[in-house]
Structure formats: C-alpha cells, structure tokens
Amino acid sequence: MTEVNTIHISTKQETFKFINELDSNDKSYYDIIINVDTVIYSNGKVYYIINYLFEFHGDEQSRNKLHPFYNENNSHIETEDGVIVYKNTMTEIMVTYLLDSNEKLAKVSGASTPQCYRALIMLNLAKLWD
C-alpha cells in the first residue's frame, strides 16, 4: 500500500442547529458541527475532507427524524462520518453554501428553508464521495 502525503491548506468549521421545522412543540434539536479541511494530495489534486459531529438534545422519539441522514424508507441513518470530495467548481459552491449562515443561505435556497437546503447539500456531497 502506498502512503498518500497531503498538504493541509485550510480548515473551516461552523455549527448549526437542526430543529423540527414541522412541529414547533418539539423542542428537540441537533447541534451539527461541520468541519471542512481542504488538502492537496501528493498527486496534486485538491480535496475537501468534510466531517460532521452530531450532538442530539431532546426527546429520543425525535432523534432519527431530525437527523439529516435519516432515511425514512429504510428506517436507519445512512451515514454520519463525513465525506471526502474532489474540489471542483460545483463542490466548491456546495461547500460554501454548506458553511454559510442561515441568513446568507436563505437568499439562495429558493422556497426551501436554510436547514432543509443544507441537509440536501450534505446528502448530495455524500453521493460525490471520491
């Protein structure tokens, strides 16, 4: 196995609260800490290493439905470790939006709430795992 050397370029970290947007009586929430490291591998390619830390607070019955990676059809959480994605124009804007404040994200998310839009970005970045 060949060792892969990396050069660390930058780290960005933000924390977001995910609430039950459909039930204002549910006071449960997740604090989701998103950490994005930008690195260059020895092959010269630039990647994002995105990690998530999920801190749940509240009623256990809400735990799954508030989690952005929960799949209702399969009744389980798909992933929560994080992803490594190749940096290109598309992933660059996705990561920018992922880390934007709710106020900034609301200006580009159309009819979706910033929380819903951010969750969709997280899910789609997971599909781009490299």
Domain positions in the chain: 6-127
Taking the C-alpha atoms of residue 104 and residue 97, their distance in angstroms, rounded to an integer, is: 8
Predicted confidence (pLDDT) per residue in 44-87, tens digit: 999 999 999 999 999 999 998 899 988 766 665 666 678 999 99
State the Cα angle at 65 between 62 and 71, rounded to 5°: 150
Q: 44: which DSSP letter?
A: S
Q: Euclidean distance between the first and final Cα of the chain, in Å?
A: 18
C-alpha closest to that of 26 among 60, 53, 68? 60
pTM score above 0.85 = yes
C-alpha closest to that of 30 among 75, 80, 78, 72? 80
Q: Taking the C-alpha atoms of 94, 28, 61 and 121 in order, what is their torsion angle to the nearest 10 degrees?
A: 0
Which pLDDT score is estimated for 1? Answer: 40
Strand arrangement of the beta sheet that strand 82-86 belongs to: 6-19, 29-41, 46-57, 82-86
Predicted confidence (pLDDT) per residue in 88-106, tens digit: 999 999 999 999 999 999 9
Count CB-CB contacts under 10 A for residue 1.
3
Mean pLDDT value of segment 2-14: 86
Mean pLDDT value of segment 19-27: 95
